Amino acid sequence: MAGTGTIRAELTEAQKKEIIRKQHAGGSSHSSGKKKSASGKASGSSGKKKSSSVSSGGKHSSGTKKKKHAGSSSGHHGNTTTPSHPNATPRPSPDHQAASASAPMASPIPPSPNPAAPAAALPLPHGAEPSAPITIEKSGVEPDRGLEPVPVQEPSHEGFWSRVFGSHKTYTYLTSSVRSAIDRAPVKRGRWKYIVVHNSGTREGNARVFDIYHRRVRHMENGLAYHFVIGDGHGSGDGQIEIGPRWTRQINGGHVASDYLNDIALGICLVGDFNRDSPTKAQVAAMEELVAYLRNRVGRSQGRQAIVHAHKEINPRPTDCPGDRFPYGWLHAKFGNAH
C-alpha cells in the first residue's frame, strides 16, 4: 500500500512537472492568442466607429468631418499619412442620392448664336424694286431742324385762258385761299412722312359735322381727327377741300390706331361710304391736287417724298377703310406706292 502510494505520488509529481511545462508553453501561446483577439477587437471597434461616422455623416453635415476623420485615424492605427488619391470624389450619402434622384434633370442650354454674324437679307416681293428705307426713331427727342420753307409756286390762273395756253399751273379745286392757308402753317422740316387717305363711312358730311362728332362722341380733345376733308356734294361742295385745325396748328392727327403714326402722318378724309359708292370724279381730282401740293409743301424726309397710303394699308389694326370701291390702283400708280 505504501509502495503503491509512493509510485502514485512520484507519478503525480512527474505529472505535475509535465503539466507545469505544458501549462507554461500553452500559456504563452494562449496569451499571444488573447493579444491577437484583443487587437482584432480593437480593429473591429475602430471599424465600427468608422461605419458609425459614415452613417451619421448623411444627416448632420456639421459633425461629419470630425467623426469621419477620427474613424479614418483609428482605422489606420494612428497613421496620419495623406491618402494616395487626395482628389478622389467622396461617395455620396444615401440622403444625397435620394435628393439627386428626386431632383428634375436640367435641360441642356443651347449655344447662343454668334452676335457678330450678319443677318440674312429678306427677299423682296416679286416685281418689287429696292428703295431707300425711311429710318423712324421711336424713342428720344428728334433734333429741331427748323421749319420747312414755303416752296416757290408757279403763278396760277384759275380761268379759261390759262387752260388754253397752258403757260401756268392751274388748279380746279385747290383754291388760292386753301393754298395760302396750307403755306402759312409752320411745318417742321422732315416731320410729315406719310399721307393717309380715308373715307368717312357716311354718304354726307363736312369738316364741322365730323368735328362735333369727334369731340362729343369720340371724346377727342382736339376735335376733327383729320387734317383735311374733301366733300362729295352732300353737306359741302363736290370736291371742296376743307382744312382742319390740326393742320393750321401743326398737331398730330387722330385718324390712325397708332399714336406714333398719328404724329408723322397727315390724314385726308373723303366724304362717302366707298363700300357702297365710288368717290366722285371731283373728289378724285381734288385729292390728286391736294396730295401733290402737300408732298411739295412738307418737303422730303431722307431724300424721299411723303409716302401715300390708303388707311387699311398702314393701320396697325384691321380695317376696310376707305372701302372696296376706292380706286387703290389709281392711287398707287399716281403716287408711286404700288403693292
* Mean pLDDT, rounded, for 68-75: 38
In the prediction, which pLDDT does 142 show?
Answer: 62
- Tens of pLDDT, residue by residue over 114-151, are 444 444 444 444 444 444 454 444 444 567 779 989 88
Does the pLDDT of residue 293 top 50, yes or no?
yes
pLDDT top residue among 81 and 268: 268
SS (H, E, C) the chain: CHHHHHHHHHHHHHHHHHHHHHHHHHHHHHHHHHHHHHHHHHHHHHHHHHHHHHHHHCCCHHHHHHHHHHHHHHHCCCCCCCCCCCCCCCCCCHHHHHHHHHCCCCCCCCCCCCCCCCCCCCCCCCCCCCCCCCCCCCCCCCCCCCECCCCCCCCECCCHHHHHHCCCECCCCCCHHHHHHHHHCCCECCCCCEEEEEECCCCCCCHHHHHHHHHHCCCCCCCCCCCEEEEECCCCCEEEEEECHHHHCCCCCCCCCCHHHHCCEEEEEECCCCCCCCCCHHHHHHHHHHHHHHHHHHCCECCECCEEEEHHHHCCCCCCCCCCCCCHHHHHHHHCCCC
Query: What's the CATH code, domain 174-335?
Result: 3.40.80.10
In the prediction, which pLDDT does 47 show?
Answer: 44
- Tens of pLDDT, residue by residue over 242-266, are 999 999 999 999 999 999 999 999 9
pLDDT band at 88 (very low <50, low <70, confident <90, very high): very low
Does the pLDDT of residue 285 top 60, yes or no?
yes
Domain boundaries, the chain: 1-28, 174-335
% of the chain beyond a pLDDT of 90:
49
- Tens of pLDDT, residue by residue over 14-54, are 676 777 777 666 555 444 544 444 444 444 444 444 434 33
